[in-house]
Amino acid sequence: MADKTNATDVTQATEEVTALRTQLNEWRRQYYDEDAPNVEDDVYDRQYARLVELEQAYPQLVTPDSPTQLVGGTVRAGFTKVTHAIPMLSLGDVFSQAELKEFTERVEQNVGEPVDYNCELKIDGLALSLRYEEGVLVQGATRGNGTIGEDITANIKTIKSIPQKLTRPLTIEVRGECYMPKAAFAALNERREAAGEPVFANPRNAAAGTLRQLDSRVVAERQLSTFMYNVADYEPLTARTQSEMLTELADLGFATNPDFKVAHSMADIFSYIDRYQNQRADLAYGIDGIVIKANSLPLQRSLGATVKVPRWAIAFKFPPDEQPTLLLEVEWTVGRTGVVTPTAVMEPVQLAGTTVARASLHNPDYVAAKDVRIGDTVLLHKAGDIIPEISAVDMTKRPKDAEPLVIPTTCPSCEAPLVHLEDEVALRCINPKCPAQVQEGLVHFASRNAMNIDGLGPRIIAQLYTNHLVTDVADLYRLTTEQLLTLDKVKDKSAEKLLTAIDRSRDNSLERLLFGLGIRHVGAKVARLIAQHFGSIEALMGAAQEEIAEIDSMGDVIADAVVQYFASEEVHTLITELQEVKVNTTYQGPSVEVAEESNSWFAGKRVVLTGKLTSFTRGDATQWLQANGATVTGSVSKKTDLVIAGSDAGSKLQKAQQLDITVWDEAQFSETMREDAQA
């Protein structure tokens, strides 16, 4: 980036400003409109800061289409436009304690006295607005360009943390952030990569891409959440400070972030920043900085705003946690769906508290965009503070003989030709007998959420396959003690335990088998809904696409995948073999009607399981609860009715105690199960 001294006259400044605006507007389009940024935030921030510097030095160069004068992005086709009566502004950014101190001095100079500030975590998500009339949710909208946003009412009604009705009949517009928790982000990207789809760069873009879906069923599946932190007009509230407003919003039923603090001095603000900069990797959601707001709401109103940002708030952006390391090689591996994924193998480096030596390169398009080469020094960071990712190549250190990576044309496992299927970015091996796919499929079949065959992990499966003891999942049920004893490190006792686990899995309900078969787009929840609807695998195999698509939360994509899977003669043969070895192929859980009409104490309750259970597995407990009408969720909120805590319970137990939610130990849960059975 050029220094300010290089722009010695208006001509040079004009040329640099034009180039910066072109580049920044393209990055803005990718970030806001496509939810697919091509650069990291800090790269954008540096270029943006340079543009601000030039426009301040040459005010005559400021134009309405400059990124410094714009808020957010455009309205996506397919959505109705919503005009914000009070504009939704963005925040100004600072990157150092000195810049932050300049902001507070500017505020206090305008006010004429010391000011208290409310410090809040800057959630890495998508800004949204919720409008309530007489306490009832009537509209949800994105920020859009600050003045005009998108009507996403149908989508936000699927988000559990957004109340449909307030605890008081207020007419009010509440604003906040919609985000995707880190765990949900990691799981979503894993599913997308396995399906050959492009992955999201970070949780913010995953949340934005989800919230702006035209199909609200997709939104419901992706576990979005929210933190609300502002109102368009505070008059309907009793609160007259930012901190009081957060408490009052929580009382109205909104999810608010509890980790805020009123600061009375710069030392308080810096202490808060240091604390959460160190703790950000441990949070369940992504943050990229701290927001500092004048705490008094009347003061906020009197200070007002510029065309783009409020004068009473600022965002302190965290520096990127990046480490340089050397790219040693790229491995290409085959997953159970046939997707061939490149993985960068690097010299180990400490990053956000862990040692990292590998990072996914996702697909050939990603490899080309990053232009990584063997021997490159690369900058490594964690997307969403969780997934190791190469952010850039240090081109100044590239070896002179570095060659572009060669994209394979044949499968690294079976050497079959690789293909690009329509609408996929991934390379895929479509050989159904590919050894790598078969092994990965066996591992998935035995996994906890599928057939739950304890002890049958990747090491044992690799030996079984290599020694030609199994060729498909039906062969698992034909294994003998003598065969298992030929495997490395398998003795009499472990062979007996493994055969017992395999035998026990024969009795699983149909939904576990459906999930274990690895049908594309069929996760554990979808498998349960399908099994519940059809009752048997024979009924499902004979179902038409339209019948499957009509099931709640399905749709054409899933229905097509199921029909296509069961159209295969090889699959028909496999199902017959599974039935011959006495694997259950019927649904054994409750029907929809039975679950809804259950007389169990648990019927209609929202339950969270946490910690280690000893009397049964987490999967068995979940299955029992669902069979008795409960909804089992993965996170604790004000809507949670019960938390069942085993040993070594952690943050979920703490949150339940903070929210005064009923907590049972395993013994109390077991006793209530017995009482239910006797009722």
Domains recognised in the chain with CATH numbers: 4-69 (1.10.287.610), 81-317 (3.30.470.30), 323-410 (2.40.50.140), 435-580 (1.10.150.20), 592-678 (3.40.50.10190)
Eight-class DSSP state of 476: G
Which of 4, 81, 122, 489 is labelled catalytic?
122
Strand 631-633 relative to strand 606-610, pairing:
parallel
pLDDT of residue 121: 96
Closest residue by Cα to residue 508 from 430, 458, 448: 448
Q: Is the dihedral of CA 420, 437, 373, 36 positive or negative?
A: positive
Helix axis angle for 97-111 and 266-279, nearest 10°, is 140
Identity of the residue numbered 213: Q
Q: Which residues of the chain have pLDDT under 70?
A: 1-8, 30-42, 70-78, 352-353, 384-385, 422-423, 553, 590-599, 675-679
Asked if 308 contacts 164 with a C-beta cutoff of 8 angstroms, the reply is no
pLDDT of residue 141: 93
Asked if 394 contacts 377 with a C-beta cutoff of 8 angstroms, the reply is yes
Q: Is the dihedral of CA 507, 508, 514, 518 positive or negative?
A: negative
What is the model's pTM?
0.60
Closest residue by Cα to residue 296 from 243, 228, 235: 243
User: Distance between CA 82 and CA 408 in Å, rounded?
Assistant: 48
- Bridge partners, 377 (sequence order): 326
User: Distance between CA 377 and CA 398 in Å, rounded?
Assistant: 7
Please state, as a whole number, how many other Cβ atoms lie within 10 Å of the Cβ of residue 170.
17
User: Distance between CA 60 and CA 41 in Å, rounded?
Assistant: 28
Residue with token string 């206090």: 108
pLDDT of residue 451: 94
Task: State CA 604 to chain mean position distance.
Answer: 27
506: left (phi over 0), alpha (psi -120 to 50) or beta: alpha
pLDDT of residue 604: 76
Identity of the residue numbered 406: V
**Residue 370 known to be catalytic:** no
Q: Which two tokens stand for residue 255?
A: 């999810």
pLDDT of residue 544: 92
pLDDT of residue 670: 81
Burial per residue of 604-637, b for 16 or more beta-carbon CB atoms within 10 angstroms, e otherwise? ebbbbbbbebeeeebbebbbbbbbbbbbbeebbb
User: Distance between CA 519 and CA 502 in Å, rounded?
Assistant: 21
pLDDT of residue 634: 76
